[in-house]
Chains A and B, each alone.
Chain A
């Protein structure tokens, strides 16, 4: 005799993927429990700093206008630093004309994730924070609920939106052991700086913002420094390959501190105040249907947990794709009754939404600065291709 269910759907995690899924399900009348292990949504989340807002409009027209965002990104600067640190090459992309799909904003997760989860709650989602989901309840090969501490909760479907280290997906037996070569580590300092000083320093008006990326290979270690201008702070971070750091026995913590004081970086953050230190794994491979199964009866994986990432060469997009995957999962859960059909419908919907984006990213690659950079007789180019040339493979 099957256990009475407590909710139609239980969503594990209150990041953008989980909240988008919960939002849509509740709006369509499903009973939804959303469980977040942090004190509040966003408390455990780390991002470089940008979101393409078109996805929010897909979730609900008008949502992008009221979203908790920082500055609209109007300019992107890419700098390459040569091996010996003496040579630097700058590329500028003016994004002022960007509208619709290309429109992006800087974002702080402690504000944004909380806002989006609140929107879901307004739709009727029951949200609990400060609870860790420990395990899945499985009966006859079907996921029927979750275990959190002493509590067991039953439902028709569990949606795993528990991030890049998805322990839920592993417990469901859907993910092989994570393989390090596919991951980089992002390290970030939040640097507070008054809004007027940010505008003066980066030549910005009002709430316009910019992104700066600095690619280098100092001491044989590849890195990408990123800087995002928030309203009154800078997100300064760097991406490293853990395999490389381990091989050369260089601490990523120290490497980041050295980059921070680099003559091409320090002037950007001078006079600021470091307020927080964070780190996060970054999946470097773009989403591909061959990645592996993202469902099992009564169980769907969304967002970072599902590897829903787009690596477009000089930028790695995840936030908007996470929202789209949460939406796709919700649509499948609403449209289908049969557990197996739900999973199939989810992956079909996900591919319908994501594959055109991946395709257009590959096509836009030609008009991006990357081929230009490749053509330059610049020493860094081989490394640049090695790390950031993966759009080719789409």
Chain B
């Protein structure tokens, strides 16, 4: 990809992911998320996997997770009910860095 502003999906498309289809490694408690006012996850996820739907509810897709853990430390109200690494061989593989 030439040097230009890239959106999150363009950036993630460059990486190698092996998706564990049936086992999300991060699980949200949407009821807690609905009550969370700050929603820091929207800003701090470098893969922008946390978004809002038209009713301002948190949507999250674990596919494309860079496994950095920033959402985990920033989630103050425990809306993230499970944060684990993907099972072995699954998730992101950094081939270049």
Contact = CB atoms under 8 A, between A and B. Distances in A.
B73 A281 contact: yes
A156 to B, nearest CB: 24
B77 interface: no
A277 B94 CA distance: 8
Given A108-B96, A257-B5, A277-B14, A249 B43 contact: yes
Interface in B36-76: 38, 40, 42-48, 66-70, 72-74
Interface in A214-249: 233, 235, 242-243, 245-246, 248-249
A274 B1 CA distance: 5
Interface string B83-96: 01111110111111
B85 A167 contact: yes
A279 B47 CA distance: 9
A38 to B, nearest CB: 7
B94 A44 contact: yes
Classify chain A: how many residues form its interface, as a range.
Answer: 35 or more
A236 to B, nearest CB: 9
Contacts of B6: 257, 274
Contacts of B88: 37, 129-132, 148-149
B51 to A, nearest CB: 10
Interface stretch (A17-25, A58-66, A118-126, A263-271): A263-271
B8 interface: yes
Interface stretch (A186-194, A197-205, A289-297): A186-194
A283 B84 CA distance: 19
Contacts of B70: 183, 185, 242, 252, 279, 281
Nearest to A256: B46
**Residue of A179, A266, A277, A279 with most partner-chain B CB within 10 A:** A277
A37 B91 CA distance: 10
A164 interface: yes
A262 B74 CA distance: 28
Nearest to A276: B96
A190 B47 contact: no
B66 A185 contact: no
B97 A188 contact: yes
Nearest to A163: B69
Nearest to A179: B73
B40 A43 contact: no
A43 B44 contact: no
Contacts of A187: 46
Contacts of A242: 40, 43-44, 70, 73-74
Contact of B67 (A44, A183, A270): A44
B73 A183 contact: yes
A180 interface: yes
**Residue of A149, A242, A243, A270 with most partner-chain B CB within 10 A:** A242
A182 to B, nearest CB: 9
B73 A39 contact: no
B91 to A, nearest CB: 8
Given A273-B1, A279-B68, A249 B42 contact: yes
B46 A275 contact: no
Nearest to A240: B44
A266 B97 contact: no
B96 A281 contact: no
25 contacts: A37-B86, A39-B93, A46-B94, A148-B88, A149-B87, A167-B85, A190-B96, A242-B40, A242-B73, A245-B43, A246-B38, A246-B42, A246-B43, A246-B74, A248-B43, A251-B43, A252-B70, A253-B46, A253-B48, A269-B3, A274-B1, A277-B15, A279-B46, A279-B68, A281-B73
Given A130-B89, A281-B69, 12 more contacts: A43-B95, A44-B92, A108-B97, A167-B85, A187-B46, A235-B97, A243-B74, A248-B43, A253-B47, A274-B1, A275-B14, A276-B15
Interface of B: 1-8, 11-12, 14-15, 38, 40, 42-48, 66-70, 72-74, 84-89, 91-97
Chain A to chain B: the 3 pairs with minimum beta-carbon distance, closest first: A246-B40, A279-B46, A277-B11
